[in-house]
C-alpha cells in the first residue's frame, strides 16, 4: 500500500552534517570582524579616493595612505585594490561623498571598537570628524 522510504531521514543527515562540519575551515569571531572591518575601511578608502579626484587635498591623500595601511594589516599584508576615479565636479555630489564617508567611518568605528582595534578605531574616528567638519563648512555655501 505504501512505498518504502528510500531516502535517509532528515535527522540522520543533520547528524552527519555535524560530523562533516569539521571538514570545512571555519573562521573565529575575530577573523570575521577583521574581514568586516577591512571591508568597511576599503569602502571608506574608495570614497576617499573619489573625494580626492573631485577636490584634491593633502589631508585626503594622507588619510587614503593610512586607510590602505590598515586594510593591508587586516588582510595579512595584501594591499587594497585602488581605482582611478573620474567624477563630475559639483557641490551636491561633494556633500554626498562626505556624508557617505562619514557613515562608512562610523561603521568601521563600531567594528573596530568591538574587536578592540585601537589603531583602526582612532583612524575611523578621525575620518568621521574630518568628514563632519567638511560637511559643516559646506552648509553655509549650500544655504545661499
Is 16 inside any structural domain?
no
Q: Which residues are within 8 A (CB) of 125 and not within 5 positions of it... i.e. 6 or more apart?
A: 105, 109
Is 1 inside any structural domain?
no
pLDDT band at 139 (very low <50, low <70, confident <90, very high): confident
For 111-130, what is the mean pLDDT?
Answer: 94
User: What's the number of domains the chain is made of?
Assistant: 1
What is the torsional sign of CA 64, 65, 71, 74?
Answer: negative
Is 51 inside any structural domain?
yes
Bigger pLDDT: 30 or 92? 30
Is 70 inside any structural domain?
yes
Is 64 inside any structural domain?
yes
Concatenate the DSSP letters of all residues of 16-28 into one string: HHHHHGGGS----
Is 17 inside any structural domain?
no
pLDDT of 77 higher than 60: yes
Give the CATH number for residue 56. 1.20.1260.10
Is 23 inside any structural domain?
no
Per-residue pLDDT of 7-45, as tens digits, reads: 776 666 555 555 555 556 688 888 889 899 999 999 999
Question: By residue range, what is the domain housing residue 131?
Answer: 29-143
Is 4 inside any structural domain?
no
Amino acid at each position: 500500500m505504501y512505498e518504502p522510504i528510500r531516502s535517509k531521514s532528515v535527522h540522520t543527515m543533520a547528524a552527519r552534517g555535524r560530523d562533516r562540519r569539521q571538514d570545512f575551515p571555519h573562521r573565529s569571531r575575530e577573523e570575521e570582524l577583521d574581514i568586516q572591518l577591512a571591508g568597511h575601511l576599503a569602502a571608506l578608502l574608495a570614497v576617499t579616493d573619489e573625494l580626492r579626484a573631485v577636490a584634491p587635498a593633502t589631508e585626503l591623500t594622507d588619510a587614503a595612505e593610512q586607510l590602505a595601511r590598515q586594510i593591508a594589516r587586516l588582510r595579512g599584508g595584501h594591499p587594497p585594490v585602488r581605482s582611478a576615479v573620474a567624477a563630475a565636479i559639483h557641490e551636491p555630489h561633494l556633500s554626498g561623498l562626505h556624508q557617505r564617508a562619514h557613515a562608512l567611518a562610523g561603521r568601521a568605528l563600531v567594528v573596530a571598537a568591538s574587536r578592540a582595534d585601537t589603531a583602526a578605531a582612532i583612524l575611523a574616528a578621525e575620518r568621521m570628524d574630518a568628514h563632519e567638519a567638511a560637511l559643516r563648512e559646506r552648509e553655509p555655501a549650500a544655504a545661499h
